Amino acid sequence: MDRLPGFRDFYPAPAPTADGWTADARQYLFDNWREVARRYGFREYDGPPLESLELFTTKSGDEIVGQLYNFNDKGERAVALRPEMTPTLARMVAAAERHYRKPMKWFALPQLFRYERQQKGRLREHFQFNADIFGESSPGADAELIALLIDSLRSLKLTAADFRIRLSSRNAWHDFFVQRCPVTDREYDFYQVIDKLEREAPENSEAKLRALGFSLEEVRGFIQAAQPTAELARILDDLAARGLADYVTIDYGVIRGLAYYTGPVFEAFDRSGAFRAIAGGGRYDQLVKLISGGRIDLPGLGFGMGDVVLTELLRARKLFPGFEPRIDLFCLIENENLRLESLTLVHQLREAGLIVEFPLAPTKSDKQFKRALELKAAHTLRLEAMPDATRTVLVKNLESREEFRCPATDAVARLVQHRREHPRGPTR
Amino acid sequence: MDRLPGFRDFYPAPAPTADGWTADARQYLFDNWREVARRYGFREYDGPPLESLELFTTKSGDEIVGQLYNFNDKGERAVALRPEMTPTLARMVAAAERHYRKPMKWFALPQLFRYERQQKGRLREHFQFNADIFGESSPGADAELIALLIDSLRSLKLTAADFRIRLSSRNAWHDFFVQRCPVTDREYDFYQVIDKLEREAPENSEAKLRALGFSLEEVRGFIQAAQPTAELARILDDLAARGLADYVTIDYGVIRGLAYYTGPVFEAFDRSGAFRAIAGGGRYDQLVKLISGGRIDLPGLGFGMGDVVLTELLRARKLFPGFEPRIDLFCLIENENLRLESLTLVHQLREAGLIVEFPLAPTKSDKQFKRALELKAAHTLRLEAMPDATRTVLVKNLESREEFRCPATDAVARLVQHRREHPRGPTR
């Protein structure tokens, strides 16, 4: 029985499977995302992975259903596995925003699901770092969100040489559009053409733009000029003050496909161009209103960063730390008469916070030592019965091969101190 | 648009909804579970929340389908949201066990789904701490697993006065059965009666036992005698050596409903008897063989601990720490001319690991200060322009009301040092 196509197993590292996914690498991303979000004062939330189908069609239209894991549950409810977090978030915010002071800065690490036609390397689930701000319409909020995005990538040791934020604005494109075209009901069609500009053959874009009353040349000219609007200039100044100017460029080639963006939009790309977008987001000031049926009017903005492209990039740049199992101590039990007393010691050492292993069953001496080496134990430790019936402990540093002996009663304090002086690295 | 019945939203604390679920309390459980599992040398894994329906029916029979979220996906595969982790784990272990040295000690924190008839307080999803050991048939492994279970509850500040492990054994019941009944194909029917003994009217149990050739009296006598088998005695000795004797009692009233247990079984209960089981598990030496179609023969054992009952218990005992938002610093920006310079400082402080907030848009002085108090900031900080064009920083401790002024260039070092001397408590 195999797992379903497009889904991943996350094994303990090192990965036994060719795809290389491990729970350790996933947790490394999660820990970093959480840590950076907290430094920025973002609070964690989560919602159900299964929601009413209607929640997603309200936001994205019925055409999204073709890409969903949707079904009728045993109570005949039309339901779907969440393909993105924003509808759930907007639902939660609409239901409870009155209990939170503004601005609200929230983040989540949901698993998301899409039934996409199966292609090489295309998955049907992924995890996403979602961060959003509600209740603040000033560009200071856009800058705060983009700074969080940049710092969450920097925390993974990616630099300005590795990635950049392409910053654009629906407002800039709106101004461009209305100066040239009075027929506003074609504005979203126009955005769709801009969104596909980089992927489509120029003659196709040209034709579509002509039909809307634009030339490809004037569109390209606008993109090339990259003249920041007053709003984008404020965001750039803010990011520059934080020392993050090198990470951002104005790039009107980005417009974001989704209908609900209303202001600044952005995407993060690796500079080599070898990968799909690392992250994307923007301002969506009308979405809470839409989801709450007009009841709540709250400006919002957010981004999503998936784990798949990011993991590919970190692997290519060799930026993941080692995840081999590593333990502090392996307690050798060579004399089975001392098993119970050894267990007492093992328990005390674990209580003190150390990672401790020992043979669960009687095992030959050399096999125990081999196991300690396999587990990359920092030390072995062996309880010894002295002729006067006292107990000592022999501790051996497996790297330096240094040994010391001490009364068993002192062992915990000495080993805890050693660990404090030699903390574990990022390898878990 | 509401969330689906039986599903939970996890809000930032304090919970705005009557059910009280928060992402902070969930993360508190997850952090503790992970920390204890790692001290014990367990490695994390995860699998897909959606699996082939067949994976679950192979292990539990077709009757489980009535309780599943199952459907046909767009590729006409019969699939189901996982109702438990063990089948996924057995699948993963069967596929890759040759890459791991034995014993394998693995844990996971999956979300699980069951379509149960809707009752008050009965949920359709929950999270579970799953820990399992493969490749070790000695009772030392059972003791190690039970010790992990006990310590994961102790890490949440529950004591021997709060909970106990009821330790039993399929082997003890097997011996009891075969001594009295030669018809082994009725053994599992007998286990089912024992499993329901505490919930069923005595006359019903009596009748069912009679039909199998037993009396309720002899069954009760066996339970009351609570005579440990040699295997259970070894487990008790092991746990006693670890100082955990007070947490465990032999209790043959526990037998575990599932068909696949083969040896020691156990459940954790709160001592007041007010809650359902906190956790349960046992040995299942044949399961990997079953899931791998006979290809792999690997003894296994494990437990699952759900987040719902445990959270109810921790709430009742008032053992959750406070989860109010708490930040290290609120940077006041009273002079908008100093906004960009203030942002530089904010960024440096966050880089140094501090949790820092500031007003994203121009805000009145008193509102900024109020916001700092609401966020339970440890300090406020204000950049000041001196007449000689240098910058100083005024730092105010919001608890002691003490203030100090220093050159802006020294501010980061001084505040990092202060934070080191006054670490944050469990409140995040």
A138 CB neighbours in chain B (<8 A) are 360-362
pLDDT tens-digit profile, chain A (428 residues): 789 999 999 999 999 988 999 999 999 999 999 999 999 999 999 999 999 999 999 877 788 888 999 999 999 999 999 999 999 999 999 999 999 999 999 999 999 999 977 666 679 999 999 999 999 999 999 999 999 999 999 999 999 999 999 999 999 999 999 998 877 788 888 999 999 998 999 999 999 999 999 999 999 999 999 999 999 999 999 999 999 999 999 999 999 877 789 999 999 999 998 999 999 999 999 999 988 889 999 999 999 999 999 999 999 999 999 998 889 999 999 999 999 999 999 999 999 999 999 999 999 999 999 999 999 999 999 999 999 999 999 999 999 999 999 998 898 999 888 888 877 654 43
B5 CB neighbours in chain A (<8 A) are 75
Sketch the domain layout of chain B as residue ranges.
Answer: 23-316, 329-421
Instruction: Determine the length of chain A.
Output: 428
Residue B291 DSSP class: H
Q: Nearest Cβ partner of A360 from B95, B144, B347?
A: B144
Nearest chain B residue to A90 by CA distance is: B1
d(CA B202, nearest CA chain A) in Å? 35
- Contact residues for A50 (Cβ-Cβ < 8 A; gap 6+): A79, A80, A81, A82, B4, B7, B69, B81, B113, B125
- Burial class for A294, CB neighbours closer than 10 Å (0-12, 13-18, 19+): exposed
Whole-number Å distance between alpha carbons of A216 and A339? 79
- Find out whether B68 and B80 touch, Cβ atoms under 8 Å: yes
Return the structure tokens found at A297. Answer: 């009017």
- Find out whether A279 and A304 touch, Cβ atoms under 8 Å: yes
- Contact residues for B207 (Cβ-Cβ < 8 A; gap 6+): none
- What confidence tens digit (pLDDT) does each residue in A260-269 have? 899 999 999 9
Contact B99 A50 (CB under 8 A): no
Contact B71 A74 (CB under 8 A): no
A vs B: CB pairs below 8 A: 239
Picking from B39, B60, B329, B355 by the largest number of A CB atoms within 10 A of its own CB, the best residue to mutate is B39
Would A23-316 and A329-421 be classified into the same CATH topology?
no
d(CA B194, nearest CA chain A) in Å? 31
Nearest chain B residue to A141 by CA distance is: B360
CATH of domain A23-316: 3.30.930.10
pLDDT value of position A428 = 37
pLDDT value of position B424 = 63
Q: Nearest Cβ partner of B241 from A48, A344, A357?
A: A344
pLDDT value of position A118 = 66
pLDDT value of position A375 = 92
pLDDT tens-digit profile, chain B (428 residues): 789 999 999 999 999 988 999 999 999 999 999 999 999 999 999 999 999 999 999 877 788 888 999 999 999 999 999 999 999 999 999 999 999 999 999 999 999 999 977 666 679 999 999 999 999 999 999 999 999 999 999 999 999 999 999 999 999 999 999 998 877 788 888 999 999 998 999 999 999 999 999 999 999 999 999 999 999 999 999 999 999 999 999 999 999 877 789 999 999 999 998 999 999 999 999 999 988 889 999 999 999 999 999 999 999 999 999 998 889 999 999 999 999 999 999 999 999 999 999 999 999 999 999 999 999 999 999 999 999 999 999 999 999 999 999 998 898 999 898 888 877 654 43
- What confidence tens digit (pLDDT) does each residue in A361-408 have? 999 999 999 999 999 999 999 999 999 999 999 999 999 999 999 998
pTM for the whole structure:
0.95
- Write the Ramachandran bin of A68: left for phi over 0, alpha for psi from -120 to 50, otherwise beta: beta
Whole-number Å distance between alpha carbons of B281 and B301? 7
A428 CB neighbours in chain B (<8 A) are 38
CATH topology of domain B329-421: Rossmann fold (3.40.50)
- Contact residues for B63 (Cβ-Cβ < 8 A; gap 6+): none
B96 CB neighbours in chain A (<8 A) are 11, 16-17
A71 CB neighbours in chain B (<8 A) are 71-72
* CA nearest to A228, candidates A167, A177, A317, A165: A167
- Find out whether A168 and A250 touch, Cβ atoms under 8 Å: yes
